[in-house]
Structure 1
Amino acid sequence: MYAVDAATAAVWSALFARVAALSGVPLEVIAHAAPAPLEGLWRRDDLGLAFICGYPFASGGFRVQPVAAPVPASGDGRPLYASHLVVRADSAIATLQDSFGRRIGWTVAHSQSGFNAIRTHLLARWQARGPLYAESTGPLLTPRRVIEALLADEIDIGPLDSYFHDLLLATEPQTAAGLRIVETTARRPMPLLVASDGVGEAIVARLRAALLTAHQDDEGRAILARLRLSGFAAVEPAAYRVLVEEADAADRAGYLQPG
């Protein structure tokens, strides 16, 4: 989910190797890049650590248990993020309203940052005036594909996970410079690391402890810094309920996809 490039993927692997060493729980990194559906990953019964977006986690459709949530270094010390609504840097779009009547993109319907956050952010405007965009393009699947669609002039505005943007600024400043943030949604609970439901409580507790203490030594802090994280936090499942409530409100209103 947050392997922005090969180098960042290697840092994630280094983090998981360190967690395995500290916890005594062997972890094997498995490749599951887009377009492989994330739903297939979340249905596995052998997951020790895997990212899941907050909306499908809160919806309860997958047999997983929370381990820990990442805390972005750019935030206020809590495991929160948002969606940036971005345009090309040279776009004439200066405000969100300027984008109305043009082309919007989105990632996938189970995504909080790439789908439901946008619907929540735009719902009142949609209720007031009806369709906001001439075209709604999706599923684009990933933040990377949203960026590519913007830069290729396939869409005029699209969502970008704020933590993905943090990583992009660090790893690909030239790509980030080709984008401009027009507006940002309300902050909501971060995607979290989960284990399969059948993994024993003792194993999950050891993995959780390794993550929650990852920032306490020089090696751990160095890895986290490269991932633009300040650490990991314990998960409060009830905090994710708002994501389902907001998505349900958009569904009830008939606002079924951004557009």
Structure 2
Amino acid sequence: MKALAIAFAVISTLCLADVKAFCAEPLKFGVAAMISPQETVKYYDQIIDYVGKKLGRPVEMVQKRTYEETDRLLESGELKLAFVCSGPYVTDKEKFGVELLVAPQSYGEPFYYAYIITHRSSKIRNLAGLKGKSFAFTDPKSNTGKLAPTYMIGKSFNLPPEKFFSKIIYTRTHDKAIEAVAKKIVAGASVDSLIYNYAASKNPRFTSQTKIIAKSPRYGIPPIVVRGDLDPVLKARIRNIFLTMHEDPEGREILAGIKVDRFIVPKDADYDSVREMEKWLKKNIK
């Protein structure tokens, strides 16, 4: 009993001394479902563990099936920060004031693209060739998986997707959209260039069965965002951890594994092209 009492006293002292690694409430870090759950764990788990280690407190990954679910948790305050898609960032900033924290830089630039893909054996050579065919979007709120291809079709053919394609499915994640094309479940899909390139380098089982027939203009890369009410000191610490990650041997190894050069502080103006697409579609495509 005496030993137990001493152990309890030691633990209590540590908590009172604010040794956060033992006692702090986990910081919940949201991850939007850009890739399937098992791949998400592989992609983000090491980053989140690294941040927790550097902060000296537990950091918990909160993974949701849709962008909408992640947005709701951010808006309610259950999440204080999250990896999000470019489209939801634009919407969430306007709706409840999320702020840019950092964004990854990959292949030398903080931008990415929508790839329109078909099966490698298909005779389809361009976007026009997909008219009347089946097509996969990813998530209704995805930039490269929904908004960008909708804009591309609207600008080129003055039609909404529902009147351009014969059938539309939603795969929820980009890797599943690639798989749907590789297995000829659909004739085409629009996917995130970063995820496509990552899959092609790590496990080309499905990307090798596809080809890229169109590429969008560039967009501001999916960022990490924070709520406006996040403690400024904590926000600065987390930002610094990301910004210096590439200078640390362990951090460099993690970044290399996910094909990220480094993290940078993005500009809100980098996402103006997303805003312009949304504005044009609301005005011109019904």
TM-score, normalising length: structure 1 = 0.86
1:19 corresponds to: 51
Deviations 1:31-72 (A, max 9, x none): 324598333343341434411111221122245222111111
Higher radius of gyration, 1 or 2: 2
> Is contact 1:3-1:12 (8 Å) kept?
no
| 3-state SS in 2 of match to 1:28 | strand
Deviations 1:207-237 (A, max 9, x none): 1111011101221111000010001110212
The higher-RCO structure (CA 8 Å, 6+ apart) is 1
Query: Does 2:188 align with 1:188?
Result: no
Q: Structure 2 regions of 5+ residues with no counterpart? A: 1-32
1:99 corresponds to: 130
Cα RMSD over matched residues? 2.6
Structure 1's 182 and 217: CA in aligned 2 closer, same or farther, altered over 3 A?
Answer: same
> Is contact 2:132-2:164 (8 Å) kept?
yes
2:246 corresponds to: 215
1:225 corresponds to: 256
1:203 corresponds to: 234
> Is contact 1:25-1:207 (8 Å) kept?
no
> Is contact 2:67-2:139 (8 Å) kept?
no
Deviations 1:172-198 (A, max 9, x none): 211110111111101100111112332
> Is contact 1:54-1:191 (8 Å) kept?
yes
Q: Structure 1 regions of 5+ residues with no counterpart? A: none
1:52 corresponds to: 84
Counterpart of 2:129 in structure 1: which amino acid?
D
Give the Cα–Cα distance (whole angstroms) in 2 for the partners of residues 116 and 137 of structure 1: 14
Structure 1's 244 and 143: CA in aligned 2 closer, same or farther, altered over 3 A?
Answer: same
Give the Cα–Cα distance (whole angstroms) in 2 for the partners of residues 106 and 244 of structure 1: 19
Give the Cα–Cα distance (whole angstroms) in 1 for the partners of residues 136 and 182 of structure 2: 12
Counterpart of 1:110 in structure 2: which amino acid?
K
Give the Cα–Cα distance (whole angstroms) in 1 for the partners of residues 162 and 140 of structure 2: 18
Give the Cα–Cα distance (whole angstroms) in 1 for the partners of residues 277 and 171 of structure 2: 22
Query: Does 2:154 align with 1:123?
Result: yes
Q: Among residues 104, 118, 121, which one is paired with 1:87 in the alignment?
A: 118
> Is contact 1:82-1:188 (8 Å) kept?
yes
Structure 1's 101 and 144: CA in aligned 2 closer, same or farther, altered over 3 A?
Answer: same
Give percent identity, aligned residues only: 22
Structure 1's 254 and 154: CA in aligned 2 closer, same or farther, altered over 3 A?
Answer: same
Larger % of helix: which?
2
Aligned positions, number: 252
TM-score, normalising length: structure 2 = 0.78
* 104-113 or 208-217: bigger deviation: 104-113
Structure 1's 19 and 109: CA in aligned 2 closer, same or farther, altered over 3 A?
Answer: same
In the TM superposition, residue 79 of structure 1 has moved relative to its aligned partner by: 1.2
| 3-state SS in 1 of match to 2:95 | coil
1:69 corresponds to: 103
* 2-11 or 151-160: bigger deviation: 2-11
